[in-house]
Structure 1
């Protein structure tokens, strides 16, 4: 039946159906041909989204959209500019740093790309930076949005793997910072090679002024993550607090949010949430079917028959994750890959939390890997640059992210 499922999956995908329908329809077809009662479908769909932890998903999406709308993202960019704008090509470093700041608020790669791109792309163009390279860098920085907590994909992985969201969040900081530092290094090298101009002069007064101006935005991750790690509230409760905080700051402090724009943001966040949860529900059927047919065990046995070297098998796992991330949306890829690869990772002695970071970072890289790269499409729309140009310009940043990915995967194994 697994071969029938794979065939139906490919056929429906080539027909251009939305990924949730591809997953659901192919699994239902295979179950029907296998004589499995279809009553199991609604049961598994409900079971897949019947988790309190998933309450955090719509809330973090809404909080990120509110904060991306107006002054919060702009003031974070201004603060980053005051820190590194004086360096040659410093505005590129600012792009990455702003992406890291916003990553600690939004939990979404696309939202991070859109917020930073809207604030920085016009300024980058005005100062003579290569537009395609600048947009590609912002898109690459957007991948950090799903690694540095809070992260929607990490929450989804935690639900599937029945792992602690708090532990996974804690493990996301170092990989996210490493990705940012790698992108900054490439940005600085390009800044010197292309003789990009210096930005604002380094000034303690400017740093203090922009820090004070951006303080409300900078306080958001401190409140959200500080509350989670101190045990004052759960990640789901933190997501609700993030929404309330974003509304408070945007409506009453910065006063850049109107009732009309708030309604549009809520509507957009609702649509995004519905898509993600529908994908999760459809993918839950697939996970159940694969588990029933012992596919994860078969994959683990096949992989172990190829080699018993943990480094070789880790490379194969990472290759599968990267390729899947190119073609599938992150949530659906997580729900398909986690049940399939987690048993193999367990047999290799890979920690569940470490594996979660590996799979999330690998799928995040897929967000900037052509042809199905959501961050590149967002950057293309924001910068009004053809996707083909951005896809070529993203290659050096993609190479750096893959090098960092290898370090994230192998360093803990080598250190034991």
Structure 2
């Protein structure tokens, strides 16, 4: 039979939602949801779906994903996180609620190295949540600030989500990296302000008052690690390397630091690091494949064109359209991992943004920042789940603090929507050639 657009959309989306509801992993749910349509539709065969999956992997830029994950795992295993925490202590530990500020600062530093929020939540959370508990911080606050600060891992460059977005949407990854820098710093400042308010209300202590010698010692320990974002972003912006090559440089540099400079990674450790990297990369890349097949099938039945036509007819204008885009990404982020959402929802909304006159880089930053909040909002909330597990609490118990901390972060998202130059100024200045 020939399946109509309405029936195809109902079967695809309905099957996917049912499987997500019964706790089938999203990557598998996306692939399985295409099977009923293949069975019903005479024009489709299973080989077409498999072909679309393999075509999605035929992208040089996606090689950056496993290499950035490898760099993050090497940094965590090489005790680089400890050095970043020591440096963050001397930078921010003198303020009221010192360890809370350290938590935010080290997330910002780690974000500039790893590109992964989950690596941030796991690596920093294992050290900082127990440390905050020992110094009298409420466990709920320690978990919430760790989870919320970790979202900067996908906003502050380099970012794995920006690499995927650039590859799927054909947007300059270097411009996306630059576009995320100022929003990431503003979110960091919003988190710092929230920690300060908590510290004043609950009388949280100062972590330490650093001396000049302590500052210099901590800086020397972390300086080599902090060169990573300069090598990665500088190479891309300067046109010296591609995003994939910069990811390889980041992984190679992390390996040299861990094995030969700090000597905290041994050959025995390397096997486990490579295994973990391969496992997480396989999960991400499999999700890219199944999401691409699902998205292609929606396109086959002209679903994106109908959505674009409906939203364009509403004439929201640039601001209204940007608000709708952010709301849709925030909603999808509640249930689905960011990478499949970028491939399915991002490709559908890209023409809508273009029709409304929204710059592709501003559209990307709005989408990525919105999706980042999904990492700390149940039922998906992967960073929140990791942090809560480390702190030994249920997610429900920490939701009040998460909501309080998220409010100023959401205000930054609103500011990006109202003033898109927040995201566009840096790439316009340093990479004007990336604007068409």
Q: Which consecutive residues of structure 2, in runs of 5 or more, have no partner in the other structure?
A: 1-7, 425-436
- Between the aligned partners of 1:222 and 1:320, the Cα distance in structure 2 is 34
Within-5 A mapping of 1:6-405: 6-38=13-45, 39-405=47-413
Offset of residue 413 of structure 1 = 7.4
Per-residue CA distance 1:44-95 (angstroms, 9 max, x = gap): 1111111000010000001101101242111111101101111111221111
Offset of residue 415 of structure 1 = 11
Per-residue CA distance 1:186-218 (angstroms, 9 max, x = gap): 011111111111121142221111001111211
2:431 is matched with which residue?
Answer: none
1:67·1:246 contact (CA, 8 Å) conserved in 2? yes
What is the TM-score when the length of structure 1 is the normalising length? 0.96
Offset of residue 343 of structure 1 = 1.0
Offset of residue 260 of structure 1 = 2.6
With 345-354 and 283-292 compared, the bigger mean Cα shift is at 283-292
Q: CA RMSD in A?
A: 1.7
Does the residue aligned with 2:34 lie in a helix, a strand or coil? helix
Offset of residue 105 of structure 1 = 0.7
Per-residue CA distance 1:13-37 (angstroms, 9 max, x = gap): 2332221121111123224323232
1:139·1:379 contact (CA, 8 Å) conserved in 2? yes
What is the TM-score when the length of structure 2 is the normalising length? 0.92
Aligned residues: 416
- Between the aligned partners of 1:242 and 1:284, the Cα distance in structure 2 is 28
Runs of 4+ in 1 over 6 A off after TM superposition: 413-416
- Between the aligned partners of 1:76 and 1:14, the Cα distance in structure 2 is 40
Offset of residue 414 of structure 1 = 10
2:362·2:423 contact (CA, 8 Å) conserved in 1? no
TM-aligned CA distance change 1:413 to 1:2, over 3 Å: farther
Offset of residue 232 of structure 1 = 1.9
Offset of residue 246 of structure 1 = 0.9
- Between the aligned partners of 1:352 and 1:311, the Cα distance in structure 2 is 14
- Between the aligned partners of 2:236 and 2:151, the Cα distance in structure 1 is 23
Per-residue CA distance 1:218-253 (angstroms, 9 max, x = gap): 122222222222222111011111111111111112
